[in-house]
Amino acid sequence: MTHRILILGGTTEARQLAGKLVRRSDLSVTLSLAGRTESPVAQGVPVRVGGFGGAEGLAADLREEHVDLLIDATHPYAARISANAAEAATKSGVPIFALRRPGWEPVAGDRWTLVDSATEAAKALGEAPRRVFLAIGRQEADAFEAAPRHRYLIRSVDPIEPKLAMPDALYLLARGPFPEADERALLERYSIDAVVSKNSGGEATYGKIAAARALGIEVVMIRRPPLPDVPSAETVDALAAKVDHLFDPVAERGV
């Protein structure tokens, strides 16, 4: 018997999970991408690109495609997608698991200012002009147009178009991972005195946090949004184990 799995992806872990699950001959895995990244990396499994039309549309798709398991492996800040996924699973009766990467925790030497949104982060930079490394991607970067007095170094995977309405901004296109040594060199080269980051978790983008700590630079950290309470795991291996348990070939044969 073949079990159909739909993974809502866009993260490294989603790609890794898909690659791990597809090794099982009894699993048919499809990875769904929102389409926000212009040139996503190769995924290794069949890919669906684009939205579903909210929770109702996703629920309909789960029923029409006879999906046996929905996995939410989206970014920790994709709160709307996660909410839609949980609601769609309830409406369709399809089981759901979530891959929830642990967030970073401050350690000795960190200078974190915690805020709840990009808008609050822009305010937290203060009135005095600063050299700011903006490393939150392109989706919410326009919130910093409200603080045009600062000098910005803005990094994103895809270009920010149109350019932001601020007089002093330098744009840097790059895709992680970003080693600590490289991040430290970047912060020093541009004399950065404040880093704005989301608490993405994981190792790929932690380099800037460690570099800021080493240099004594403030990090304005945007807290994670609340996410639905669904069965979850923190690592690819742990979630793959949950899938193995759900679709246990021995149990299905009644042995």
pLDDT in tens, the chain (255 residues): 899 999 999 888 999 999 999 999 999 999 999 866 555 556 578 899 889 999 999 999 999 999 999 999 999 999 999 999 999 999 999 999 999 999 999 999 999 999 999 999 999 999 999 999 999 988 899 999 999 999 999 999 889 999 999 999 999 999 889 999 999 999 999 999 999 999 999 998 999 999 999 999 999 999 999 999 999 999 999 999 999 999 986 555 454
Structure tokens at 195: 């880093």
pLDDT score at 140: 92
pTM (predicted TM-score): 0.88
How do the domains of the chain map onto residue ranges?
3-102+226-253, 112-222
* Fold held by 3-102+226-253: Rossmann fold (3.40.50)
The residue among 4, 26, 77, 19 whose CA lies nearest residue 252 is 26
Could you tell me the two tokens for 149? 């007095």
**What pLDDT does residue 38 have?**
54
Q: How far apart are CA 248 and CA 245, in angstroms?
A: 5
Give the model's pLDDT for residue 40: 55
pLDDT value of residue 255 = 44
76: preceding bond cis by omega (within 30 degrees): no
Contact 133, 190 (CB under 8 A): yes
Q: What is the dihedral of CA 141, 202, 16, 78, to 10 degrees?
A: -40
Q: Distance of CA 86 to CAs 78, 129, 197, 220, 239, Å?
A: 13, 43, 27, 30, 17
Where does 112-222 sit in CATH, by number? 3.40.50.720
